[in-house]
Amino acid sequence: MTEDRRQIAMPTRRLLVDQVIASLRELVEHEGLTVGDRLPSEPQLAERLGVGRSTLREAIRALSHTGLLETRQGRGTFVAQDPGLPARFAAARVVEVFEVRRALEVLIAQLAAVRRTSQHVERLRSALADCRRHADAGDIPAFITADSMFHQVAAEATGNSVLVEMYGALRPPLEGALGVVADIVVPQQANDRHEVLLDAIVAGNADAAVAATAAHLDETVALFAREG
């Protein structure tokens, strides 16, 4: 662990929590922290980043959800995994994560519609049922997890191992981003879009699957861009 104590740049752009996430990842990289190393204390981090402790806690919580950091009660916050693609996703702004998600899921939808098996269809139906159940119960965290599982199954239906791995890397920061902005998540609308996508995949209609995915994620990117 290096003794470099340089000041990390204060976040100034768009969604503050996203920028604190980026600054924390920068801190891990610039100070050469590795798995098991402890970050500075919460008061020290808040002072260095020039943000309030509530904002800092949201950022740490999001990075803990991705697996990069781990908070241990009474001991502090520790690096839990080496920085890599998932951590780079986590450092991005919410709208950036969703722009990447859009690109991946459009391709996933196109390929899943022509390559899916009956087993994939059943798993997609089950995941969508979970989404609807959690939405009806008002359990947003559970809905977010079920939503990302629906799309993970769609990725698996492509038969492309690279797409599966890439979406798997995107899932934790995606779920973390949605958790940060849970107040603007509209589960019922998302579920209706999922239903259209599922119908297209079942029918083997790649064009309809792409159109459904693009429409849904264009709406979502635009929403988060406005919020940012």
Condensed to tens digits (0 to 9), the pLDDT of residues 8-18 reads: 444 443 468 87
The residue from 82, 114, 130 where one domain ends is 82
Q: What is the helix (H) or strand (E) element at residue 76, kind and residue range?
A: strand 76-79
| Residues 75 and 96 both lie in one domain | no
Model confidence pLDDT, tens digit, residues 207-223: 999 999 999 888 877 76
Q: Are residues 104 and 184 in the same domain?
A: yes
Residue 124: per-residue pLDDT = 97
* Segment among 38-52, 97-111, 173-187, 210-224 with least mean pLDDT: 173-187
Query: What is the per-residue pLDDT for 226?
Result: 62
CB-based burial, 133-164: b 16+ in 10 Å, e otherwise:
ebbeeeebeebbbbbbbbbbbbbbbbebeebb
The answer to whether residues 44 and 105 belong to one domain is no
Residue 3 domain flag: no
pLDDT at 198 over 90: yes
Among 82, 107, 131, identify where a domain stops: 82
**Same structural domain, 133 and 210:** yes
**Mean pLDDT calculated for residue range 37-49:** 92
Cβ atoms of residues 79 and 169 within 8 Å? no
Per the structure, the complete domain to which residue 69 belongs is given by: 16-82
Based on the fold, state whether residues 78 and 123 are members of the same structural domain.
no
pLDDT-above-90 percentage for the chain: 41
Q: Quick one: pLDDT at residue 146? A: 92
Domains contained in the chain, number = 2
Query: Residue 3's pLDDT band (boundaries 50, 70, 90)?
Result: very low
